[in-house]
Structure 1
């Protein structure tokens, strides 16, 4: 009988340009891991692909250490326990794990989160009820704080973070304006998610359309993009506007126009910060885990089960296809939360 093998995707090289390529990844077969004392053997069911991973491919200082060459790319998964040498978990339990891009792994049971699915699809715990969802929730709760009658604008609005931001703002009584790429995504924001307006950032008159949709200005701008979108937003920010800075996809992808960092432009931005009393704060979601996480799961979980929050998943089958799915996401070719279905139940 042939020995069982596992699969992993490693970082083969660091990107030489802002735009990564398939050459930066390598798919490998390895011996099946063995669970030691206190450990469990896990089969990865769904792997989450997220924009932050592009930054981890670079060897530079950031909020998290770079991915190591010839080691699996970092990533979170939903996985099933195949074998258990720990009292905390039994065969068949479903857990959240920082697995990296792997099909199987042995992990310390004490460091895993057992999921009580309660009728929710397990993949949701990587999206709307996972890190992207909590990123949206915590950024709004701690920084954005939308109020009844205010206008909130969010970039990358059809993605897992932006789509929840807009829906939560609506729940708070605010007006939601989403920015997305292309008519299909804009229609989804309006027809399925209930946004009040949707603007295509690819439109030649994008800035004018945004201004028309925000005739009373912008009170909360949830920043996922940067670049030309940021440049169009700044003149529309109202007195005391709040800007949670969650991501800068325009700079990450290498495909979108960069923001104007000239001395005159920066000076104008700082004048706006001062004269309009703007609050601009970058954050990483884990800063707020202790403060908001239990509340997030309770509130958003209830809204999801009641059908008041909707979400969309963009699923690719096969771990070997993760690199291409990741590059497509960075280029904005995905539609919804990007997942790789590594194993079928």
Structure 2
């Protein structure tokens, strides 16, 4: 018999309509036996160390007809997302006690993960473990493959990134600069604009909340037009970008955070420009690239170690701070990658 301990958890009370609020969640405490149940088969018992707050999680709060490659949240149950954890007991021959992993886990102190095939074993611990919720995890792979594979960039091209100071956008901008592109980002506060220009190396950045005319703003920063748009926002920003793309431009549709809390999504009016400018607009999911994780690590780890990539994190302390950190994504409260620290490694 294993030791029975308390297990703090974040519960979604009910399906969410409209803007997600802290009150949609409840932080409760149950108990868990630190022993794999016999029914778990090849599952693993883990201690969660840090959790990732990501915009896609808003989609999971409301059951819709949309296809999504992760299950939707069940009301009155523990929510889940990407995180870093330490294996306490394993029924999987590829994982052993003490191993560090990243992948989808519960928003709780301890979790039983029934399908460890979806976990990535962490072999490089010379970087902060929280990086595996971001730059070395799902967000990093999204930025890397979205930029290089979907956007097909060339040196000297004009690149625009919305939500540019977020987990993905900050990396796309740096990849583009490493390639020799001209890079502009949009964000929602002066602090984030300063971060983009002074720490992350963007050529220019602007506060979209202070622009009464997004079309005019884009013409100001891209008088010759945009070759590549890395789309994280949707809505009015996408509409303005479509009117400022150069011929044969590429748009990588990564996310549309401005739409996730809306009951009726906004329309886009400049779609004719896709034809007139011969644009390629491609949506993508990071799951399609997981089989190339080792390739990604080989490319990005040396850049981190050589300090050629900077990664900004916003870390909330403890599961009690989890709901506020998660819903804060949709008002731009976070600066950089939002992480919830659950426990220190021990």
TM-score (norm 2): 0.91
- Considering only aligned residues, what root-mean-square deviation do their CA atoms show, in Å? 2.1
Aligned to 1:132: 139
Q: CA deviation at 1:67?
A: 1.1
* Map of 1:4 onto structure 2: 5
Which segments of 5 or more consecutive residues in structure 2 lack a partner in the other structure?
none
Q: Tell me, what secondary structure is at the counterpart of 2:219? A: helix
- Structure 1: unaligned runs, 5 residues or longer: none
The 3-state SS of whatever aligns with 1:76 is: strand
Q: 1:228 to 1:110 in 2, by over 3 A?
A: closer
Does the CA-based 8 Å contact 1:46-1:78 persist in structure 2? yes
- What is the TM-score when the length of structure 1 is the normalising length? 0.91
Change (3 A) 1:253 1:108: closer
Deviation at residue 83 of structure 1 after TM alignment: 3.8
| 8 Å Cα contact 2:242/2:271 also seen in 1 | no
- SS in structure 1 of the partner of residue 209 of structure 2: coil
Q: Please name the residue that 2:65 is paired with.
A: 61
1:46 aligns with 2:47: no
Q: Is the 8 A contact 1:185 1:335 kept in 2?
A: yes
User: 1:206/1:165 Cα in 2 relative to 1: closer, same or farther (>3 Å)?
Assistant: farther
Provide the residue aligned with 1:81 in structure 2: 87
Deviations 1:224-252 (A, max 9, x none): 00122222212110000000101111111
How many aligned residue pairs are there? 335
CA distance in 2, matches of 1:56, 1:271: 32
- Does residue 286 in structure 1 map to residue 287 in structure 2? yes
Kept after mapping to 2: 8 A contact 1:80/1:95 = yes
Match of 1:242 among 226, 232, 250: 250
- C-alpha contact 1:10 1:72 (8 A) present in aligned 2: yes
In 2, the alpha carbon distance for the partners of 1:190 and 1:289 equals: 31
Deviation at 1:42? Answer: 1.3
How far apart are residue 3 of structure 1 and its match?
4.6
Query: 1:288 Cα deviation (Å)?
Result: 2.6
Quote the offset at 1:206 in angstroms: 5.3
> Contact 1:95/1:113 (CA < 8 Å) preserved in 2?
yes
1:132-151 correspondence to structure 2 within 5 Å: 132-151=139-158
Change (3 A) 1:325 1:20: same
Structure 2 matches for 1:98-113, cutoff 5 A? Answer: 98-108=104-114, 110-111=116-117, 112-113=119-120
Alignment of 1:1-345 (within 5 A): 3-17=4-18, 19-33=19-33, 34-36=35-37, 38-64=42-68, 65-84=71-90, 87-108=93-114, 110-111=116-117, 112-205=119-212, 207=214, 208-254=216-262, 259-261=266-268, 265=269, 269-290=270-291, 292-345=292-345
